[in-house]
Amino acid sequence: MDYRALQGYGSFFMSLFLVVMLYGYIVYLYRSEKKGERDFEKYGNIALDDEITSTPVEDKSASERLEEEDK
């Protein structure tokens, strides 16, 4: 098989992979919100409430603590 053919297969499968990923991502976004696992729209508030003293939408230090407790 010459490199031209390899290139063709490579590009085809890579495109297919990315298309699957994109649609997977859409499904993931909407399904996880429907199930109530995540709320994406709340991230919009990061811009609205951005005082340095205000509570983060997702506190980094707090969530890291939780992850450590999980272990």
Partner 1 sequence: MFHWLEKNPFFFAVGVFLVISFAGLIEILPNFAEASRPVVGLKPYTVLELAGREVYKKDNCIACHSQLIRPFKAETDRYGQYSLSGEYAYDRPFLWGSKRTGPDLHRVGNYRTTDWHENHMWDPPSVVPGSIMPAYKHMFTNVADIETAYAEAVTVKNVFHTPYGDEFKGTRAAWEAHKPKVLADAKKIAADMKNKDVKEAVEAGKVPEIVALIAYLNRLK
Partner 2 sequence: MQSNAALEYDYTVAKLFTYTTILFGFVGMLIGTLIASQLAFPELNYLFGEYGTFSRLRPLHTNIVIFGFTISGVFATFYYFGQRVLKVSMAESKFVMFIGKLHFALYVLLAVGMVISLFLGMSSSKEYAQMEWPLDILTVVVWVLWGVAMFGLIGMRREKALYISLWYYIACFLGVAMLYLFNNMEIPTYFATEGLGSIMHSVSMYSGTNDALVQWWWGHNAVAFVFTVPIVGMIYYFLPKESGQAIYSYKLSLLSFWGLMFVYLWAGSHHLLWSTVPDWMQTMGSVFSIVLILPSWGSAINMLLTMKGEWNQLTDNPLIKFMVLASTFYMLSTLEGPIQAIKSVNAIAHFTDWIPGHVHDGVLGWVSFMIMAGLFHMAPRMFKREIYSKKLMEAQFWLQTTAVVLYFTSMWIAGITQGMMWRAVDEYGNLMYSFIDTVTVLHPYYAIRALAGVLFLTGFVMFAYNMIKTMISSRELTEEPQFKSPMA
Residue 46 makes contact with partner 2 by CB under 8 A: yes
DSSP 61: H
Contacts for 43 with CB less than 8 Å, ≥ 6 apart: 57
40: nearest Cα among 31, 52, 49? 31
Closest approach, Cβ 15 to partner 1, in A, equals: 9
Number of residues that bind partner 1 (CB under 8 A): 11
Q: Among residues 26 and 49, whose Cβ is nearest to partner 1?
A: 26
Please identify which residue in 13, 25, 39, 62 interacts with partner 1, judged by CB under 8 A.
25
